Structure 1
Amino acid sequence: MLRFLKKQAALVWAKLHVKAAQKYKDNAPKDQERLLKELISKAEKTLFGRTHQFEQIRSIKDFQKRVPLYDYEALRPYIEKVKRGQSHILWPGQPQYFAKTSGTTSGSKYIPISHEAMPYQLGAAQSAIFHYIAKKGNADFVNGKMIFLQGSPHLDEEYGILTGRLSGIVAHHIPSYLQKNRLPSLATNTIEDWEQKVDAIVEETETQDMTLISGIPPWLIMYFEKLTEKHGKKITHLFPNLQLLITGGVNYEPYREKMEELLGKPVDTIQTFPASEGFFAFQDDYTKPGLQLLTNHGIFYEFIPLESYGKPDAPRLSLAEVELEKDYALILSTNSGLWAYSIGDVVRFISLSPYRIVVSGRTKHYTSAFGEHVIAYEVEESMKATAEKFNAQISEYHLAPQVSPAEGLPYHQWFVEFEREPSDLDAFSTELDKQLRSRNSYYDDLVKGHVLRPLVLTSLQRNAFIEMAKSQGKLGGQNKLPRLSNDRKIAEQLEPYTIP
């Protein structure tokens, strides 16, 4: 009886939530303008607000004139003041948390999370689940076990502020009604070594009635592979009541085929777009592509056309000004005190009613050694189409330019780890090059003009990417290998794993 009541309550809550959320979808541009004014008003007396004359800002255009673009390095002097214990620097008071992330040029980054922002991180995840329940008309999974593959919940106190990985911070705020069914245990979750942690999770969960599993795709695959190796069963045979996967962190599509093979049969999937800086979007309709942009969750968005990003006169567009099927660098102003902040993600709108996006790449993850500016979305779509045509299955891959080959013209080198190789690698390589040329006219021109030769495909040993990450101490955690580079640093690390 209790199980029935729990399920029915979830159905009622979900329908009410989705009905209330509809008004935000309908009024997104106006809500965004109102939200910016609220953020400005709240932070007017902070050091950042006084420096940028927030008291004189009356519109989006005023804001853009007075507040230039910031990245972490530009914002670092303000964050250093917060770390020294000063208050009212970027946002009133002090942050509730620092989400500590690993940077490339900046070393460790300390991303402030305010008391106001934390409920939005949790609320967005809850909203994603409610939208699924309402659309599916079923909430059976609430009575089973749920696993969240995440970073350690251990928090340190640095500079008087609790500090840790975002997923670890969120773990301390899981609602009590979910704690009873939630796995893994705290002891297992705090294991730092990722391989040991996954082994422990397997032991804790292999006999449980798992109904919901959440994590970024590479973590899920590693977990599923260990279960399959141990039991010789597909995941849906091992967990017959598994109903829902929730993923985020990286694009799910390149991993879909491998996931479905491990699962054994289709399982409903919700894709999300969370980050330490905020929770930006989730799949509000699991039957349709694209993620609904969250326009009422404490974040004001601006969008810079990717072809203009980095230029001094680059336009900063509001939500009302974006167009379909164009790539934009995502810029944030948040209720944690990040202002006109370039997060580094590139998004593309596939719907304007409601506003739905796909994450099409990173501003720093591209290949343009010859001016072609190939982005992740083009690469992923090219690989997907080619793999489908040749019935191949890809575990992982990386694209790097070869600017100075020993002989012949320069080229793009693709390092590919196959789960299932095509019967003809040369034909596969030719088709992959054709697919990329059809999606990027600049690359096509370079090949036609004999500036570049067609791509070179290099096959890698099984588990090459896992072994490389392990050798670098970057297995698990928040480490995500970029699929594209503009240099050969990652390519050189992959060289030892090539198949002769």
Structure 2
Amino acid sequence: MSLKSFFAIPFAKIATRNVYKWANKPHKTQEKVFKNLIKIGKKTAFGKDHDFKNISNYQDFKNRVKVQDYEGLRAYVDRIVAGESDVLWEGKPLYFAKTSGTTSGAKYIPITKASMPTHIKAARNALLFYIAEKNDASFVDGKMIFLQGSPVLQDKNGIKLGRLSGIVAHYVPQYLLKNRLPSWKTNCIEDWDTKVNAIVEETINEDMSVISGIPSWVQMYFEKLIEKTGKKISEIFPNFNFFIYGGVNFEPYKNKFETLIGKKIDYIELYPASEGFIAYQDSQKAKGMLLQLDSGIFYEFIPASEFFDENPTRISLKDVKVGINYVIILNTTAGLWGYNIGDTVEFTSTKPYRIKVTGRIKHFISAFGEHVIGKEVEKALNDAIQGTDINISEFTVAPQVNPKSGLPYHEWFIEFENEPKKLEEFALKVDTSMQEQNIYYFDLIEGKILRPLVIRKVKKGGFHAYMKSIGKFGGQNKIPQLSDNRKIADVLENFLVD
């Protein structure tokens, strides 16, 4: 055991105790964050335009600040991009995290001097919680890899611009730099295929202990390693015992991962976003991720079932309930106000407040009034593969409103690693789970408005080929797991098994 791993255990226990101090005082913590946001926000152009000086409580805030997405704040962001100070937050941002939007084109999400440290601290604390719970920090002596975007940053009127993961790469603690892979040179490679091949070469003979990234892209890395060596990941990296991920529900991918790895391992789920680091898994035993209440974010929630109503219910943390699907709204020290990031979450616990991500409010299917959401399709797929050797690489779901014959249906595009022996029986299991979860879907099937779902087999590598075809092949891009239109489905028709 090195000195680094020896001292990591007591440090982790102190850090986790400090986290639970605010986690056990959730409403007081959020009230403190709210007051600080308003105090600083009133000095900004946004605060002056929205009468922050007369806000003394949450109701005052709701009366003055509407819920909005990037387009709602775009006029203010454009002023910051043009070089103006004190627009959404005091001074100028340190960075813009560049993301792609469906309606806005490129989005420039500000990261400020106040918000940047919360991204780093939350990621660090996720590892410290794991160390404290396991009473083991031996992994810090091995090599660690974080599959991420290029750390090369551009300049936008004096403000650095890049992907969030590339920005964060500049903040790796000094004590981890010797353990961190890939090399800076490899990390700067833009072409994803070339980059993963280079990462394979750099890591194949190393003692990898921690691997992190979006599951579908880490899976690609694992497959290339196996193709090159003919060995399982656990044979290549015998000290690799846990995987860190975020961005998607991991359950549908878990069977495939454990087959590639060759043994069961632990998992740490993170919920980072360009807009703020929202939550992380604080226990291997409890469900959900600990909501970050002291990270400069004041949270609001709107029941997803009401979100598109004219006057939806809008509540703070103290009024949320376990098991309700909410759209999460952020107010942050980066100057995002009433900001809808588009995600839906569900509380798994209120003591402390833990959440799980259930999908995207724009990613749903309701072509016939069925209101199907991401959580339901993920659970249906997971129900169908439980207890089997079926492995799934990737999937997405879309409505087929105008079939060539017969009733309309939901069309599931699935890339199998190990496919079911009887596809029709597998489809029936998935459909049964959907009907059990969603009464609207059940009624439409029973009423002969829809017929049971249909599964289309995508060729191996088909989803990667699809992402390449639309110019979004890379570690930070994810395929929506369901959509209310045929935009993705129609292109995927070109990548089906004949």
State the Cα RMSD in Å. Answer: 1.0
1:348-380 CA distance string (max 9 Å, x none): 011111111110010101111111110010000
Measured in 2, the distance between the counterparts of 1:67 and 1:371 equals: 31
1:128-179 CA distance string (max 9 Å, x none): 0110000000000111111111000000001221000000000011111111
Using the TM superposition, give the Cα deviation of residue 389 of structure 1 relative to its aligned residue in structure 2, in angstroms.
Answer: 5.2
Q: What aligned pairs does 1:160-199 form with structure 2 within 5 A after superposition?
A: 160-199=158-197
Unaligned runs of 5+ in 2: none
1:90 match: 88
Measured in 2, the distance between the counterparts of 1:335 and 1:116 equals: 6
Measured in 2, the distance between the counterparts of 1:426 and 1:348 equals: 32
2:148 match: 150
1:168-211 CA distance string (max 9 Å, x none): 00001111111111110010000001010000000001001111
SS at match of 1:356: strand
Unaligned runs of 5+ in 1: none
2:13 match: 15
With 411-420 and 332-341 compared, the bigger mean Cα shift is at: 411-420
Using the TM superposition, give the Cα deviation of residue 478 of structure 1 relative to its aligned residue in structure 2, in angstroms.
Answer: 2.1
Preserved contact between residue 33 and residue 60 of structure 1 (Cα < 8 Å): no
Matched to 1:358, the amino acid is K
2:334 match: 336
Aligned residues: 498
Matched to 1:66, the amino acid is R
1:320 match: 318
1:406 match: 404
Using the TM superposition, give the Cα deviation of residue 390 of structure 1 relative to its aligned residue in structure 2, in angstroms.
Answer: 4.9
Q: What aligned pairs does 1:302-313 form with structure 2 within 5 A after superposition?
A: 302-313=300-311
Preserved contact between residue 216 and residue 394 of structure 2 (Cα < 8 Å): no
Q: 1:402 to 1:187 in 2, by over 3 A?
A: same
SS at match of 1:172: helix
1:421-451 CA distance string (max 9 Å, x none): 1111111111211110101111111111111
1:347 match: 345
Preserved contact between residue 255 and residue 390 of structure 2 (Cα < 8 Å): no
SS at match of 2:386: helix
2:120 match: 122
* Structure 1 runs (4+) greater than 6 angstroms displaced: none
Using the TM superposition, give the Cα deviation of residue 29 of structure 1 relative to its aligned residue in structure 2, in angstroms.
Answer: 1.6
Matched to 1:113, the amino acid is I
Using the TM superposition, give the Cα deviation of residue 302 of structure 1 relative to its aligned residue in structure 2, in angstroms.
Answer: 0.4
Match status 1:469 vs 2:479:
no
Matched to 1:45, the amino acid is K
Matched to 2:355, the amino acid is I
Preserved contact between residue 253 and residue 391 of structure 2 (Cα < 8 Å): no
Matched to 2:363, the amino acid is H
1:100 match: 98
Matched to 1:180, the amino acid is K
1:236 match: 234
Matched to 2:101, the amino acid is G
2:375 pairs with one of 364, 377, 400: 377
1:397 match: 395
Q: 1:390 to 1:264 in 2, by over 3 A?
A: closer
Measured in 2, the distance between the counterparts of 1:298 and 1:72 equals: 19
Q: What aligned pairs does 1:258-273 form with structure 2 within 5 A after superposition?
A: 258-273=256-271
Measured in 2, the distance between the counterparts of 1:392 and 1:42 equals: 53
Measured in 1, the distance between the counterparts of 2:466 and 2:48 equals: 47
SS at match of 2:478: coil
Measured in 1, the distance between the counterparts of 2:252 and 2:392 equals: 8
SS at match of 2:2: helix
Q: TM-score, normalised to structure 2's length?
A: 0.99
Matched to 1:289, the amino acid is K
Preserved contact between residue 359 and residue 374 of structure 2 (Cα < 8 Å): yes
Measured in 2, the distance between the counterparts of 1:62 and 1:71 equals: 20
Preserved contact between residue 101 and residue 478 of structure 1 (Cα < 8 Å): no
SS at match of 2:417: strand
Q: What aligned pairs does 1:350-365 form with structure 2 within 5 A after superposition?
A: 350-365=348-363
With 309-318 and 168-177 compared, the bigger mean Cα shift is at: 309-318
SS at match of 1:281: strand
Measured in 2, the distance between the counterparts of 1:154 and 1:4 equals: 33
Preserved contact between residue 45 and residue 88 of structure 1 (Cα < 8 Å): yes
